[in-house]
Amino acid sequence: MLPKIDTTEMIEFLTRLLNTPSPTGFTEQAIDLCEDALQGIPGIHLQRTRKGALVATLPGVTDGPWRALTAHVDTLGAMVKEIKSNGRLKMTKLGGYPWNTVEGEGVRVYTASGETVRGSILLTKASVHVHGQDVGKTERNDDTMEVRLDARTESAEETRDLGIEVGDFVVFDPRVEVTDGFVRSRHLDDKACVACMIQAVKTLSEVGLTPKVSTVLHVSNYEEVGHGAAAGIPAEVSELISVDMAAVGNGQASDEFHATLCVKDSGGPYHYRLNQKMRRLAEDYEIPHKIDIYPYYGSDGEAFWRAGGDVAVSLIGPGVDASHNYERTHSEALEATTLWCLAFLLD
């Protein structure tokens, strides 16, 4: 039997994390929040990598071959590419997504001095009463999308007077909402899994249990651009679980009520023996789970493999609907993922 998870506490932490801005390259505040959540766990050793990831080491019953779990706090976002002559902002994307998934979204621009300016993402020709059918037909790209600032500016100079410059981070509103177990928000990828991983470790310490072998929690901060966990996994680690959302949609086995073991994605198959172990754990502990393949997907486990990491890697995570869009999952998938992490820690 696995210890019981405090789902309310997990979703409260997840909500806090979702409301903490952390586009790739601007993740310090979210890493701080994770560090705070883990502080106080008996025996835990917390460390930041030079790159800014959090590495938490938990001593095990035996020092045995180490294990690790990794999940990422960095999210999709944008950066100011250019201040236009009309005072509005041209953006460059951080991470991979089509512009239509953020059209109409509220944003905060973080200036170098730490101030924020509100705004929203719109098509350059947004008014239906002015541009008619063009509004529907225009291709959404870097040139046709812009930030309209909620400040009085009609020139590049006036925008610069607000403290805004090229390179400032543009953070999308996460719009977190919890209804009847459903959690709807941007950036459940991968904050949902960070919350599961942290809750698993907190649950262990609350019931006075210790991982079977020494285990590392790696909170990655550059996953969305492909090299998050390339560094920061200690050489002692022999088994690495990448905890990241499962892709839900037509033809997929994954759903919002299960955790999924992904056996193959764009980077090829994961580690057969470790996959077999994860399947056995799910069956032994009756964890609601699916097995799936993701057609357009790469993980931080693969980032570590590509960087030369010599470990077995598996990928598990909760089903997330409309990934890299306005995402949604359910507490049942979060509980299943947390239980799977717990089983991995204990067995």
List interacting residues with Zn ion (CB under 5 A): 189-190, 244
Rounded CA separation 162/157 (Å)? 9
Q: Say if residue 179 is exposed, middle or buried (CB neighbours under 10 Å; 0-12, 13-18, 19+).
A: exposed
The one catalytic residue in 223, 239, 302, 327 is 223
Cβ distance to Zn ion smaller for residue 88 or 218: 218
Contact 61, 209 (CB under 8 A): no
The amino acid that residue 143 corresponds to is D
Cβ distance to Zn ion smaller for residue 105 or 189: 189
Q: How far is the CB of 8 from Zn ion (least distance, A)?
A: 24
Cβ distance to Zn ion smaller for residue 244 or 292: 244
**CA of residue 213 relative to chain centroid, distance:** 26
Q: Cα dist. 220→46, 217, 245 in Å?
A: 14, 9, 14
Cβ distance to Zn ion smaller for residue 168 or 244: 244
Q: How far is the CB of 178 from Zn ion (least distance, A)?
A: 21
Cβ distance to Zn ion smaller for residue 189 or 332: 189
Q: For 148, which DSSP code?
A: E
Q: 3-class SS at 223?
A: helix
Residue pointed to by tokens 């717990």: 342
CB atoms within 10 A of CB 154: 11
Contact 88, 149 (CB under 8 A): yes
Rounded CA separation 57/67 (Å)? 10
Cβ distance to Zn ion smaller for residue 191 or 289: 191
Q: How far is the CB of 334 from Zn ion (least distance, A)?
A: 15
Report the DSSP beta bridge partners of residue 90. Answer: 82
Taking alpha carbons only, the member of 321, 327, 328, 247 closest to residue 291 is 247
**Which long-range contacts does 41-45 make (Cβ < 8 Å, 24+ apart)?**
41/201, 41/202, 41/205, 42/205, 43/210, 44/201
Active site residue 12: no
Q: How far is the CB of 18 from Zn ion (least distance, A)?
A: 14
Q: How far is the CB of 267 from Zn ion (least distance, A)?
A: 13
Dihedral angle of Cα 333, 335, 336, 341, to the nearest 10 degrees: 130
Dihedral angle of Cα 309, 269, 94, 178, to the nearest 10 degrees: -110
The residue nearest Zn ion at its CB is 190
Q: How far is the CB of 231 from Zn ion (least distance, A)?
A: 17
Active-site annotation, residues: 223
